[in-house]
Amino acid sequence: MVGVSNGQQRGIAGAGPEGADIQHVFATFHVAGQLFGVPVTRVQDILTPNVIARVPLGPAEVRGLINQRGRIVTVIDMHVRLALACAESGRGVCVTVDSDGELYTLLVDSVGDVVDLPGSAREAPPPTLDPSWADLSDGVFRMGDELLVALDVTRLLDIRRKN
């Protein structure tokens, strides 16, 4: 599964005309009003967190830990990770992704549909985009009246590198 998604990433990175006919399937979600997408192949689960156990002294991006069907999953606060306005007190939804056998879950405001986008809809991130976002982004997709920022899960979870 990971192998497939990696292939997809490469296809996107290629960005040339040969990437145009690749279909991208994204699980979409909103964080602070912005639409994001991660490759659906990386998504393991979507759930509403019950209790999030804090991890004192942990990285700011780590909201805590949850018990997802007997597995301990690290909750990444996407508001913090993407340097967006602080989350409202609402609960949010968790999008669990897999990274080298470890599970992480992205705490987002709401989850949207799974969308199927043609490679031709992809645009390189605009140069004016905040560099921290540009680093995490795999491209921007035109989607009806909205723009979807595709996220690179591996880089998204590489919190240490950022620091």
Partner 1 sequence: MDELLNEFLTETNESLATLDTELVRFERDSSDTRILGNIFRLMHTIKGTCGFLGLPRLESVAHAGENVLGKFRDGDLPVTPDAVTLILRCIDHIRLLLVELGAAGREPEGDDGPLIGELNAMASGEPVAVPPADAAAAHAIAAPIFEEDGFPVAAELLAEVAEALGPQVAAQPVSPQRSQPQPAAELPRQVAEAARDNNAKEPDQAASSIRVNVDVIENLMTLISEIVLTRNQLMQIQRNLKSDAFKVPLQRLSHITSELQDGVTRMRMQPIGNAWAKLPRIVRDLCVESGKKIDLVQRGADTELDRQVLEMIKDPLTHMVRNSADHGVEDPVTRRDAGKPETGTILLEACHEGGHIFIRIADDGRGLDADRIRQKALANGLATEAEIAAMSEKQVLQFIFQPGFSTAEKVTSVSGRGVGMDVVRTNIERIGGAIEMDSRPGEGTTFLIKIPLTLAIVSALILEAGGERFALPQINVVELVRAGSRSGARIETIRDAAVLRLRERLLPLVSLRTVLELGPDEVDRDRFVLVMEVGAFKFGIIVDRVFDAEEIVVKPVAPILRGNPFYAGNTILGDGSVIMILDPGGLSALAGQAHSNNDGLQVAGSVAGRDESEASLLLFRAGGPELKAVMLDAILRIEEIDAGAIEQVGGRHVVQYRQKLMPLMMVNGDQRLVETGRQPLLVFCDNGQPLGLVVDEVVDIVQNHISLELAPRQDGLLGSAIVAGKATDLVDIRHYIEYGRDNWIRDEERPRLAAGGRHG
Task: Please state the closest distance from residue 72 (CB atom) to partner 1, in A.
Answer: 5
151, 37 contact by CB (below 8 A): yes
Does 82 help bind partner 1 (rule: CB under 8 A)? no
Does 91 help bind partner 1 (rule: CB under 8 A)? no
Pull the structure tokens for residue 87: 């989350």
Does 60 help bind partner 1 (rule: CB under 8 A)? no
Pull the structure tokens for residue 61: 């991006």
Instruction: Please compute, for residue 19, the number of CA atoms within 13 A of its CA located in the half-sphere on the CB side.
Output: 19
Does 160 help bind partner 1 (rule: CB under 8 A)? yes
Q: Which is nearer to partner 1, 23 or 67 (CB)?
A: 67
Does 159 help bind partner 1 (rule: CB under 8 A)? yes
Task: Please state the closest distance from residue 57 (CB atom) to partner 1, in A.
Answer: 6
Residue 56's contacts (CB-CB under 8 Å, 6 or more residues apart) are none
